[in-house]
Each structure stands twice: as structure tokens, then as C-alpha cells.
Structure 1
Amino acid sequence: MPGRTHNREFKREIVSQVESGQKTTAQLSREHHLSPSLIHRWRKEVEARGEAAFTDQARPDPTLEQRIAELERFCGQLSLENTILKKLLATYHSSIGTK
């Protein structure tokens, strides 16, 4: 059935059943209406990535997004302070030059 999405736990369970010998790829394909090639692709991903298999790499970790936002705010604050200090320094130098 095209367009279905399966969660990570489901995929890991299917791969585990095949690898442990509990069920064959053909049995699982029939039971869950999955393509045998899909199960083989899941097995290859587990072999290649181990515990990181089936995690979405395109979606960043929410804690990283929060950290990035925090650092961007801090960078903005430093930029504002830098601008203020430059103006004060320019004012100071111009007042010294007029004396």
C-alpha cells in the first residue's frame, strides 16, 4: 500500500523478527502487507546505521534548535552592544579632539 508510513519501533520489530528467525520475510510481507523489498531495505539500513537506523536526519534535534536560537539572540545582543560602544568611542574621540 503506497503512502503508508511506519514508525521506528515497527520497523525495528520487523527487522528483529526476520533476523532472529522468528518469521521469514515472506510471512511478514503477507501479515503486514509490506513489500519484501521494503523489508530488505529496512534490514540494510539497520546493518549500515545500527541504533541510528530510521531516525530522521533531516529534522534537527529540538534541543539543538533551542540552542541555536539562544546563540542567535546572544549574537544580536553583542552586536547591539558593539554598535553602542563604537558610537560612544566616536563621541569620546570627537570630544577630546575639540578641547
Structure 2
Amino acid sequence: MARHRTYPIAFKRQLAQEFLAGGTSLHGLARRHDVCRNLIRIWVEKYEKGEFDDEAEAANLLELYEARIAALERMVGRLALENELLKGASATSRRPSAATPSVVTGPAVFPSPKDAV
């Protein structure tokens, strides 16, 4: 499955400013940067609303960091739980040192006669 490309806010701001300056057409701008025209239209609307300022960029970066921290916290919790589970399993499965490690138990095996074939 194809993944969506993500663009930095500075790039979006630059394209919106280029389009609003009127130097190039929407079609030419989209072709030059290999971006969909509708996406540039959306970026221009957001730029006009003020969503591409430095505070928005800092908030976006903060959201990314918070999401990464949450994912790492989940991973730490899962690994801690797994570690406790493995510690408990290894403590209950230890054999006493006096027990024989052999799987076969029972009477001793008698050797066969020498002339038996």
C-alpha cells in the first residue's frame, strides 16, 4: 500500500507564498514540485488562515514528540511486564539441585550377553 508523503511546514508555506505572489500558475507550481494542485489549494487556504506560522510549526513538532514519547512509554510498559513474567516463570521452573537431571528414571539397564547378535 502506498504511503502518503509528508511535507514540512516551511515547504508548504513557501509554495503558498509563491502561488499568492502570482509569479506562477497553480498547474506550473504543482508540476515543478511534483505536488497535487488540490493539495496546494488546501495549503494556500491554511496559509491564509495563519496555520503555517512558527507557532503552528512548533505545535506540530510538539505533537510529533508527544506521540513518540507515548509510543515509547507503551513499549517500556510492555517490556517491563514481559520481564516480570519471565522472571516469575524462571523462578517456578527451577529444579532442586539434588534431583537427577536425567529424563529416564527406573531400574538400571542390564548389559546384553557378549555372544548375542
- Tell me the TM-score normalised to structure 1 length: 0.50
Greater C-alpha radius of gyration: 2
Equivalenced residues, count:
62
Name the % identity. 21
**TM alignment of 1:70-85, pairs within 5 A:** none
1:14 aligned residue: 15
2:32 aligned residue: 31
Richer in helix (by share): 1
1:40 aligned residue: 41
In structure 2, what is the Cα distance between the partners aligned to 1:13 and 1:30? 15
Question: In the alignment, is the contact (CA less than 8 A) between 1:45 and 1:54 conserved in 2?
Answer: no
Which runs of at least 4 in structure 1 moved beyond 2 Å after TM superposition?
A: 49-55
- Tell me the TM-score normalised to structure 2 length: 0.43
- 2:13 maps to a residue whose letter is R
Question: In the alignment, is the contact (CA less than 8 A) between 1:15 and 1:43 conserved in 2?
Answer: yes
Deviations 1:67-94 (A, max 9, x none): xxxxxxxxxxxxxxxxxxxxxxxxxxxx
| 1:59 and 2:96 aligned | no
1:4 aligned residue: 5
RMSD: 3.0
